[in-house]
Every structure is written in structure tokens, then in C-alpha cells.
Amino acid sequence: MQIEIRSSNEAVISGYVNAVERDSRIMPKGKGATAVRSFVERVRAGTFDKAIKRGTPIELRFNHDKIIGDTTSNLELYEDNIGLYARAIISDTEVIEKAQRGELRGWSFGFISEGESWDKEGELDRRTLEDIDLKEVSILDKTPAYFGTSIEVRGEESNVFETRGIAGNIKLIGKESPKANSLEIYEKELEILKER
């Protein structure tokens, strides 16, 4: 995740939300998962692109709760050979203040599976997402408790809304760099102490 603070009421946040064709960490089975035990998951290349090209607005959220935009206004999404990339222009003051304090942790996305396959990876099951309804991408200020979680959506259809999140390296450009959470400061201090 890269954060560019332009002013007290505008920031640009960008980075990869998820990588394609790479196994996730081991995820526990959830309410919505069809695996009988823990599994790994990967997103097939082209899956995000297909979801974006459907043209349905995809929301930009903060911690999966607060809506702060969408693909019709301040959010750009595309899939390249690495994965799903997002670039958002943020005007929400709460998110900007958290960015300035170094409290943002990474990205996450919420989806409903529309097509998947299962196979074995050693002792684990592997789920490959081949078609999804991408509902939202979220900027997070906390590290997800689990790499993957499942939440049931109540309604006429029994679809399962799932979220996936990863914590990332944060690069802050602009106004005030956070000092309390910066590992670079501690690494430099450690190098100085080693030289003594």
C-alpha cells in the first residue's frame, strides 16, 4: 500500500489488494466454505478482470463497514499479471487522519463466489476461485484476525459473502511521516548501535 497525503482533506491510496495464481495461507473452514476441513485458496488469473468488466459498481469501504466511494467516483481497479490493483482518491477525514498517523494496515476485498473448483494440495484441499461477484474493496486500519473469513448474507438466496484481507507494507509519501510505527527508524538505530 502506498499513501500520498495531498492535503488535510485529500489522499491517494494505492496498491495490490490480492495476488492471482498464488496460494493463500491455510484458512479454517467457515460457515460458507464447502471444504470439510482447512484449505488453501487461490484466485485464477482473469477472475478479477471478469468481475470488473461486468460494469457493476464496486464499493470502496473502510474496514468493510463505512462506504467511502466506488468505481463510478473515486476508485480505480484493474487486474494485471500480479493481481488486483486499486487506486483510490480519499476525501474521508477519518481515513486521512489514520493514514497520517500510520494506522492503516492494508487492503481487503469482499465477494460472492460464482464459480470455483476444488482439488488436493498434499493433505489440504485447495479452492480455486474462477468467477466472483466482487462487491467491495476495503482499506483496513487493523490486521485481519483471519486471512479469510466467511459471513452469511441473509436474503432470498443463500449466497455467502466472504472477505479476504492481507496486511501490507505501507509507504507514506507527503505531509507527515509517522514516527511511532516506523520500523525504518528502529532499524537505523540498531545499525548505529552495531557500529559502536
- DSSP string across 61-81: EETTTEEEEETTTTEEEEE-S
45-49, 70-74, 77-81, 99-103, range with the lowest pLDDT: 99-103
Please report the beta strands in 20-140, taking only residues with DSSP state E, as ranges in sequence order: 39-43, 59-62, 66-70, 75-79, 83-90, 106-121, 124-140
Structural domain harbouring 46: 2-195
Please give the pLDDT value at position 162.
Answer: 72
Q: Is 192 helix (H, G, I), strand (E, B) or coil?
A: helix
Contact 82, 128 (CB under 8 A): no
Q: Report how far apart, in Å, the C-alpha atoms of 52 and of each of 39, 55, 56, 84, 116 are.
A: 26, 6, 7, 10, 18
Beta pairing, strands 83-90 & 10-19: antiparallel
Residue predicted with more confidence, 148 or 8: 8
Banded model confidence at residue 1, pLDDT cuts 50, 70, 90: confident
Please give the pLDDT value at position 181.
Answer: 47
CB burial of residue 25 (10 Å; 0-12, 13-18, 19+) = exposed
| Chain mean position to CA 149 | 13
Does position 31 have pLDDT exceeding 60, yes or no? Answer: no
Hey, how many other C-beta atoms are within 10 angstroms of the C-beta on 175?
14
Say how far apart CA 5 and CA 48 lie, in whole Å.
28
Longest dimension (CA), the chain: 68
Does position 29 have pLDDT exceeding 80, yes or no? Answer: no
Say how far apart CA 157 and CA 138 lie, in whole Å.
24
Does position 110 have pLDDT exceeding 80, yes or no? Answer: yes
Say how far apart CA 62 and CA 51 lie, in whole Å.
21
Task: Tally the domains of the chain.
Answer: 1
Does position 153 have pLDDT exceeding 60, yes or no? Answer: no
Average pLDDT over residues 165-192: 58
